[in-house]
A and B are shown apart, each in its own frame.
Chain A
Amino acid sequence: MFAVTTIAILVAMMLALGRALLGPTLYDRILAVNTFGTITVLFIAIFGFLTGRPEFLDIALVYALINFITTIAVLKFFEYGDMGRSSLEQQESDI
């Protein structure tokens, strides 16, 4: 049961990797990275249960958190071209 799931996740990983490598636009790559992060979380959780060590779930949690933060950072970089600004300060600097 877990083994089949692991193989399915590996196939999904390959597909996401292909999209990241081929991706004509940058948005394809961003989406691929995000998908890959989610797949990694699933893979770690499944692999933990496959080998009978559920404490791997800790790491899966960390990945979920970090993936969230990274995605927000990437999107913010795209929207503002800058990491540090909030929109309020940007208005001030425009004046």
Chain B
Amino acid sequence: MSATAAPRAAHGIFHKAGSLRAERRWALWSAYVSLIIAAIVMLAPPFYMLITALKTSAEIADLGGNPWIVRSPTLENFAAILGNEMFRGFFWNSIQVTVLVVIVTMLISVPAAFALSRMRFWGSQWLATGVFLTYLVPDTLLFIPLYQIVGGLGLLNSTWGLVLVYPTLTVPFCTWIMIGYFASIPKELDEAALIDGAGWLQMLWRIFIPVALPGIIAATIFAFTVSWAAFVYPTAFITRPDEMPLTIGVVSQLIRGDTFAWGQLMAGALLAALPPVVVYAFLMDYYVAGLTAGATKG
């Protein structure tokens, strides 16, 4: 951080026009150099996963030569993993759980956020604080009691058990950022709706949801990425391969024995990571808005 600050400090206030421009150029150069280095480091692991997935097993096993380049690219790893029925099962389980959890999350958090931001009632301030506090409770603190509870309900080894517990990951944050978005809607809109004779639910449905749509998209993306990437709960609750979602399925089932099929493993991991990456690529601004909303809107 002091890289750009240092040269300016040396000159103090007695700038000459030429040196100022040189300084600016120097600052820009150092910025680009750092960004390039950072981008290389940040993108190296996924890049190497892709390189490995494109190699044949013989090329992976070959220790001579640069492992970072692929000499005879092949799609056979992707074909093999897509032809693997178990892997397709993981994918299907993930889609099922994620879609259900996103729907449940939005149905819970949007009305609740509306009530908390617009209808002051006894304890609403406390409840809003409670929502934030539950967001801070990590899943690793809860998985053992939840293991007992889910087991008591007979939902271990079932995707329904996951649909039951994932809202603990998604609902608090989604409610929290929706409270922020709803609170930023001007009161005049409510009043206009009231003059037209709208009830509370009409107000929510006709005004708040359309106006806060960017917030709803951000919250949906958050709920989607979190339930897609969830790892602690499925690891604890699911031991039968046919009920596993992708994260734990790829990590536990594709790693078998002493000789790993690295190419297939990497192909599987990349395909599993694809949905959130695609969502991110197309909706980056909403994604970033959702990330930063938690701290800046609160």
Mutual binders A and B? no
Binding site for B on A (CB under 8 A): none
Interface residues of B (CB under 8 A from A): none
